[in-house]
Structure 1
Amino acid sequence: MSSSPAHSRTASAVAAVERAMAELRRGGIVVLRDADGAGGLVIAAESCGPRALQRLQGLAQNAPVLVTTRRRAEAIGMEIPPHIAGGMGETNKPITIDLPEGVPVDVILRPHESDRTGRHVALRHLSRPVASHAPGLAQSAIELAKLARLLPAVVLGPLTRDTGNKRRDWAREQDLVYVDAADVAGYEETASRTLQQVAQAHVPLEGAENARILAWRPSDGGKEHLAIVVGEIDTTEPVLIRLHSECFTGDLLGSLRCDCGVQLRSAIAEIAKHGSGVLLYLAQEGRGIGLVNKLRAYELQDDGFDTIDANEQLGFDADERIYAPAATMLSRMGIQRVRLMTNNPEKIAQLERYGIEVAARVQHSFPSNGHNENYLRTKAERAGHLL
């Protein structure tokens, strides 16, 4: 049976973003175009090698610039004029910085490197931020880097405006990966809508022997989300559920820096005690910034930053997670009303935004273990988590 045009367009859009993410991670150049025809060549700053940068310089119509988020620029001590997008009083929008010839791209990525006066090394080389020629394009470039689980900093080589929509053909001629900005903006929710169950198996768990694991995969073949189903679900009543974002260090290694491992195991045991329920294990490590960036944030925490400030020092928002995948899985399992085990009001709001009724909140918190006291305090005082 053939796919509908709308389905084919969705699958094509998701695949294009996935290819662009992979290209950034390997240090390649991506051609990005927005709906107004503004275009640019993009390389992730942390994977930008000299050969790729040289090619970008040869293809771009104007001198390449560095693009990063306001918080990342402020973290290295840059003063951002109020008239620049992302200046004081604005959200974490991207800002553009001239990149003088001969300056290494990764100066923007060195969080600890200072000269003898204590001034960050980047400030010796980089000028003050300038207004972007295409703020929307810069935003899309940063979002693409985030989706690739890379630091939100890119080299952007401006291209002339493409009023005839020929940029895709040009990219193909240059053997470059092409992606539309609109597809980048809609990727997370589009991928969530394409989730399909691809496997399930009975897996007896400690504390919940009557458990099944259902694996869900998006159409782009990206990371799978899991549903751990305990007992027999009665969808005529609110189902007891827990949304748990993966945490390699806490869930698998038993890290004491967070409370993730104990939350995971206790939630499964509590669901089993109740008789039935679902734990959704979501592939969004480190509040959505990925494992490598979480480890970078840990390094900053060792220097005195709390968990939120550390993420923001790297240039991310305090929490980059989305819960559209959770809502999709619940809906396709026939679950529309839930009792949600959480201390995070944002999870309640997000599920209800996507059409899942939260009939009740079930408290789910644990005392400090002596290593995560500051972490738990930050979640309560700054992220609004309930005790």
Structure 2
Amino acid sequence: MMAAEGISAEALTRMARLSGTDPVVVLSGQRAEVLGMTPDARSVVLISAAEPLSVNHITRLSDPLNPEKPDAGLTVRSTDIPDWAQGAVALAKLSRLLPAAVVAPTTAEMADCFHVSAADVLSYRPIAARSLKRVAEARVPLADAEDARVVAFRPTDGGIEHLAIIVGHPDRDHPVLTRLHSECFTGDLLGSLRCDCGDQLRGAISQLSKSGGGVVLYLAQEGRGIGLINKLRAYELQDAGFDTLDANHQLGFDDDERTYLPAAEMLRLLGISQVRLLTNNPAKVEGLARHGVQVTERVPHVFPSNGHNARYLRTKATRSGHLF
């Protein structure tokens, strides 16, 4: 398989030659629904054509920023989808690429090629989360919390790193004031006005310090789990009129691609089983509870809007159920 966004004419020719058949395109259900190919956004679809698919065909199918529409006459399969198709989309998402892939079957001549089972790809995220280990820790005085430490977590075999910012000395015998914060390069570092992430991060650290201590889990889940590049693509779509959720769908992603299993595992490793959760998002409360963390209280975490993020915050309230 190859990611659709990296395909070239040479790669298509090579795949067809090696497999002895024409490659097919696999799209996420969200992208297929946007294109009107299936009414069910949960399914993955396989797309083929009477003639071999070209790079232009594939780009039209996978890239919402391409103004040209997909060609008519495509064959769309949305039932009895094989595991390898599900695995291809999952692998693209893990790689922070558009969730679309070009796939061709292997042959006996390719037996010495490196193989990864679809089951292994589909199970990677929970396995990586459950294998998180504390790998480093340091005192890091912060502007709003001089008594702070950063603890780094990483899967046993390497991979994405998550951080815990521990402010003060939280009492683990009582529910710990906790914030789950998905990394946001544009908001946290650049001070972007398109979101409220920077305000939420700095506000959480300040509130933890004033209340005697707590934890911010800084999760490597940029753009609600789609990655920075795809978030920038979503911004371009938002500038064209889509809201934050519909922009995700245009790209082929769900409303929210995050999982809160890493957060639950980090809390377990920190010896925290009960939290007062600093959030406006009920899904975070439900996500932690699903993975064994008791949320004794949801603590509101609201900041003023501005002319650039008012629509974004309104969408979170009306379509994602955030409580402001």
Query: Shorter-normalised TM-score: what interval?
Result: over 0.9
Letter of the 1:278 counterpart: V
Counterpart of 1:123, as a letter, is D
Aligned counterpart for 2:43 among listed residues 75, 93, 111: 93
Cα gap change, 1:250 to 1:107, in 2 (>3 Å): same
Q: Post-superposition shift, 1:239? A: 0.5
In the other structure, the counterpart of 2:64 is: 111
Q: 2:221 aligns with which of 278, 281, 284?
A: 284
- Measured against aligned partners, the alpha-carbon deviations of 1:42-101 in whole angstroms (never above 9, x if no partner) come to 1110112333322211222532111112332343x4x43xxxxxx32x333111111532
- The equivalent of 2:8 in structure 1 is 49
CA drift at 1:370 = 1.6
Alpha-carbon shift at residue 180 of structure 1 (Å): 1.2
1:28 maps to none
Q: Amino acid of the residue matched to residue 28 of structure 2?
A: T
Q: Give the equivalent residue in structure 2 for 1:224.
A: 161
Residue 262 (structure 2) aligned to one of 319, 325, 330: 325
Alignment of 1:201-240 (within 5 A): 201-240=138-177
Give SS of 2:102's match: strand
Q: 2:134 aligned to 197, 201, 215, which one?
A: 197
Partner Cα distance (1:338, 1:233) in 2: 11
Distance 2:9 2:182 in 1: 37
| Correspondence for 1:135 | 82
Task: Work out which of the residue numbers 6, 12, 21 in structure 2 matches 1:62.
Answer: 21
- Paired residues, what number? 321
1:384 & 1:329 partners in 2: Cα distance?
26
Aligned pairs for 1:328-339 within 5 A? 328-339=265-276
How far apart are the structure 2 equivalents of 1:341 and 1:57?
Answer: 52
- Listed as ranges, the gaps of 5+ residues in structure 2 are none
- Which residue identity does 1:43 align to in structure 2? M
How big is the shift at 1:269? Answer: 0.2
Change (3 A) 1:171 1:288: farther
* Cα distance, 1:133 vs structure 2: 6.8
Determine the C-alpha separation between the residues in 2 that align with 1:248 and 1:377. Answer: 22
Match of 2:285 in 1: 348
Question: Is 1:148 matched up with 2:95?
Answer: yes
From 299, 309, 313, the equivalent of 1:376 is 313
Contact 2:243–2:315, Cα closer than 8 Å, also in 1: yes
Residue 365 of structure 1 is matched in structure 2 by 302
Tell me by how many angstroms 1:219 deviates: 2.2
Over residues 312-370 of structure 1, what are the superposed CA-to-partner deviations in whole Å (9 max), with x where a residue is unaligned? 11110000001111111100111000100001011011101111100111000112122
What is the alpha-carbon distance in structure 2 between the residues aligned to residue 145 and residue 72 of structure 1?
Answer: 13
Q: Distance in 2 between matches of 1:289 and 1:248?
A: 13
- Which residues of structure 1 form unaligned runs of 5+? 1-41, 81-86, 115-119, 161-166
Q: Is the 8 A contact 2:135 2:154 kept in 1?
A: yes
Q: Aligned pair in 2 of structure 1 residues 257, 376: CA closer, same or farther (>3 Å)? A: same
Give the TM-score, by structure 2 length. 0.94
Name the aligned partner's letter for residue 51 of structure 1: E
Paired residue type of 2:41: T
In the superposition, the TM-score normalised over structure 1's length comes to 0.79
The answer to whether the 8 A contact 2:132-2:153 is kept is: yes
Alignment check: 8 A CA contact 1:171 1:178 kept: no
RMSD: 1.9
Once the two structures are TM-superposed, the CA of residue 131 in structure 1 deviates from its matched residue by: 5.0
Q: Percent identity?
A: 54
Distance 1:91 1:132 in 2: 12
Q: Shift of residue 142 of structure 1?
A: 0.7
Is 2:209 the partner of 1:272? yes
Q: 1:181 to 1:232 in 2, by over 3 A?
A: same
- Aligned partner (choices 242, 260, 270) of residue 305 of structure 1: 242
Distance, in Å, in 1 between the alignment partners of 2:77 and 2:274 is 49
**Residue deviations 1:2-48, cap 9 Å, x none?**
xxxxxxxxxxxxxxxxxxxxxxxxxxxxxxxxxxxxxxxx1110112
Task: Tell me if the contact between 2:28 and 2:44 (Cα under 8 Å) persists in the aligned partners.
Answer: yes
Whole-angstrom CA distance in 2 between matches of 1:213 and 1:112: 39
